[in-house]
Structure 1
Amino acid sequence: MKKILLPFVLSTLLMGETVMAQTIEMVIGERAFTVELIEHEAARSFADRLPMTLTFENFGSTERIAYLKQPLTIGSAPTATDPKLGDLAYYIPWGNICVFVKDFRHSEDLVPMGKMSSEATEALKQSGNQPVTFRAIKK
């Protein structure tokens, strides 16, 4: 299995495609949305802390942010990205999770963490001060 999977992962990385590793849920009120996490140490560090409830705030008109109690372990995760609508990321200097509600320019110290649907992004954008819970999906 490892011999088959390794060439796929390497070719995907070399072609610039993102390898999604885990699906989690974001819950706002009574609605649950899936979030696809990227395969790297920072995303695993986030997933290992679930369930987690955060309160997001607007940061300009481009993103919604929420602060973590402890920084994530970054490991060899990429530390720069060109965020797009629906991207979940981690901003290293401030230790916050952010979701982009608009495309943004290339940013250093920003770890890409995952992707959510436009429906999930819009729900988070409209959530105000409502608590947002991230949790593992029950199998």
Structure 2
Amino acid sequence: MKKIFAFLIALFCTTSVLGAPMNIEIQIANSNEKITASLADNQTARDFYAQLPLSMQLEDYANSEKIGHGIPKRLSIADSPKGYAGKKGDLTYYAPWGNLAIFYQDSHVGYANGLVYFGKLTAGLETLSKLNGEVVTIKKAE
């Protein structure tokens, strides 16, 4: 019983901190491939979604994530934890640089101040890991 209670508390705390899925899907696509993600229910995700569609170049960073510059307006980090350790499949915002960071591996750095979780890839993780220097379009799912 104690294990179940501890699990439920951990699940509640994780959902509260990261934001439950909003069931809002986005697509990240180049000319050949499509990646999909579901956004979290937090202000960072809502701000990002409001700026779509976006085009940006994705570059490899630290052999664990793809980063993209070109978000026109800074995203809100209100009510977000001060930092986060990126996990495989996470869609995040690195507030100090104002860029998108999508993890195809768990972060090698671990916890990073200013990293904000705002979604999770639902398809195309292997495709993401192969992209390097390509321009993608990020848009609301059809």
Q: CA RMSD in A?
A: 2.0
Counterpart in the other structure of 2:48: 46
Contact kept? 1:28, 1:124, Cα under 8 Å: no
Q: Does 1:86 find its partner at 2:89?
A: yes
Counterpart in the other structure of 1:16: 14
Aligned counterpart in structure 2 of residue 135 of structure 1, from 113, 116, 139: 139
Counterpart in the other structure of 1:126: 130
- C-alpha deviation, 1:12, in angstroms: 9.3
- 1:124 alignment partner, SS class: helix
Amino acid at match of 1:137: A
Counterpart in the other structure of 1:7: none
Moved more, 68-77 or 82-91: 68-77
Uncovered stretches (5+) of structure 2, i.e. residues with no partner:
1-8
Counterpart in the other structure of 1:3: none
Deviations 1:13-41 (A, max 9, x none): 73423400121111122332220111011
Uncovered stretches (5+) of structure 1, i.e. residues with no partner:
1-10
Deviations 1:34-60 (A, max 9, x none): 201110111100000011111011112
Contact kept? 1:28, 1:127, Cα under 8 Å: no
Quickly say closer, same or farther: Cα 1:74–1:38, change in 2 above 3 A. Answer: same
TM-score, normalised with respect to structure 2: 0.79
Tell me the distance in 1 between the aligned counterparts of 2:28 and 2:121: 9
Moved more, 13-22 or 28-37: 13-22
Tell me the distance in 2 between the aligned counterparts of 1:39 and 1:30: 30
- C-alpha deviation, 1:76, in angstroms: 1.6
TM-score, normalised with respect to structure 1: 0.80
Aligned counterpart in structure 1 of residue 78 of structure 2, from 75, 78, 89: 75
Contact kept? 1:85, 1:100, Cα under 8 Å: yes
Counterpart in the other structure of 2:27: 25
